[in-house]
Structure 1
Amino acid sequence: MSYRGDVSTGGAPDVRELDSLIITKVSVGPMENNAYLVRCRSTGDQVLIDAANEAPRLLDLAGETGLSHVITTHRHMDHWVALEEVVAATGAVSLAHTADAEGLPIDSETLVDGDTVRVGGCALEVIHLVGHTPGSIALLYQDPAGIPHLFTGDSLFPGGPGKTTDPAHFESIMNDLESKVFGRLPDETWFYPGHGRDSTLGAERPSLGEWRARGW
């Protein structure tokens, strides 16, 4: 596998080609946000996960095919700076969890836990992870020919959960991660965070107790 998921702001994207889905990861400035373009091989349908910034670059990535949807993983501004411009240019439908949608700059259709977003012949399942924000979501692609792929926004990174602001929020995000992610998905699940490098659940699972103990 040539894909490594190691991208830098201003650098080239990294592309992962699965049997049915193509995942393109790119980093945009100034906060080194990851944006992900997912494309169905059979239909050409494309969905963008987090129109974080640098709208011209994201639009160039989408190309003439355009976008059917833009999904925002949570309401923090660094993940949607380019949202309005990208949607205006492509006519894509903006999607976000109902608890975070009001924090976005444009009207967005709302998602809840368990919803499915179609990418042509493929499907992304919405997993609601409360803690980093009230409406943070992860998006799960269950590859029928391989391992699960999980786009975690700022809810899960290599080394720990996303930042929380009080102990109740930390307890919530850990509970959701343990029950909805680590408790459900296998070690080989590859996850794609909102910043930085990717990892697998197996690489992070031994540290769950440590994360609990340190409280962040």
Structure 2
Amino acid sequence: MSRVETVATGAAGARIERLVTSGTFSLDGGTWDVDNNVWIVGDDAEAIVIDPAHDAAAVAAAVGDRRVHVILLTHGHDDHIRAAREAADLLGAPLCLNPADRMLWDAVYDDAPDREILNGDTFKVAGERLYARYTPGHSPGSTCFVSPTLGAVFTGDTLFQGGPGATGRSYSDFPTIIDSIRRELLTLPEETAVYTGHGDSTTIGAEKPHLDEWIARGH
């Protein structure tokens, strides 16, 4: 059974929770088993959900009776979005995606996302704000969400513990993801917690010294 874990709590009482769900990721004719991090930001009354992957019922159970303002999608790969419409229906919340990933969305759904995410958009919940930062590379529309007061950034598959997300598949580009990470993420305070789309969390300070190694390694 999936378990919800509180990973951080802000001074104003908002908290960050993680739910891990399991399923598959398919692209370019291949399919892989994956575990995804689902992030819930809010308090006992309201929340924002980021990337409700694989198991909409588990996400709804983790949210409980809280009001969900929006569901934010970091990008359009099918492991992140395939359960998103069902989750939106269960939670009564609009789905938001950067329009540059619309072709990935359209490979899964016949309808459109409910709202577009554009660089600089602000999302409010439980006295906190999440700011959208456009970080293409892993996919054309990849977007991260920064909460300065919670000291957090939700990076989807753009930045992981140990380096950038994969860029060896369709619609991805290694120089672009490196530029996005350099400009939009490594400029954050070093103590900023990095909450990723898969695997363990890290910090900006832990990853920043390794940029040149990532570039030398390539995708």
The superposition leaves residues 155-201 of structure 1 with CA deviations (integer Å, 9 ceiling, x where unpaired) of 000111010037x810011011101111x212111100000000011
2:125 to 119, 128, 141: 119
- For the residue of structure 1 that corresponds to 2:68, the secondary structure is coil
Percent of pairs with identical residues: 31
Q: Report how far residue 40 of structure 1 moved.
A: 4.1
Residue in structure 2 matched with residue 134 of structure 1 by the alignment: 140
> Structure 1 residue 67: deviation in Å?
1.4
More strand by share: 2
Q: What CA distance in whole angstroms lies between the structure 1 residues aligned with 2:2 and 2:40?
A: 16
Q: Say whether the 8 Å CA contact 2:2–2:58 is kept in structure 1.
A: no
Q: Which residue of 2 aligns with 1:25?
A: 18
Query: For residue 100 of structure 1, what is the aligned residue in structure 2?
Result: 101
- Quick check: 2:4–2:62 contact (8 Å CA) kept in 1? no
Give the TM-score taking structure 1 as reference length: 0.87
1:75-112 superposed Cα distances (whole Å, 9 cap, x missing partner): 00000122111111222011111211453334220011
Which residue type is aligned with residue 68 of structure 1?
H
Unaligned 5+ residue runs, structure 2? Answer: 24-33
Distance in structure 1 (CA, Å) of the matches to 2:184 and 2:162: 18
SS of the aligned residue for 2:100 comes to coil
> How do 1:40-79 residues align onto structure 2 when only pairs under 5 Å count?
40=43, 44-79=45-80
Cα distance in 2, alignment partners of residues 76 and 213 from structure 1:
26
Matched residue type, 1:107: A
**SS of corresponding position for 1:29:** strand
| 8 Å Cα contact 2:155/2:196 also seen in 1 | yes
Using a 3 Å threshold, how does the CA distance of structure 1 residues 102 and 70 change in structure 2: closer, same or farther?
farther
Q: Does 1:39 align with 2:67?
A: no
Query: In structure 1, how many angstroms separate the alpha carbons of the residues matched to 2:102 and 2:73?
Result: 9
The residue aligned with 1:176 is 180
SS of structure 2 residue aligned to 1:103: helix
**TM-score normalised by the chain length of structure 2:** 0.86
Q: Which residue of 1 aligns with 2:89?
A: 88
Report the secondary structure of 2:176's partner residue.
helix
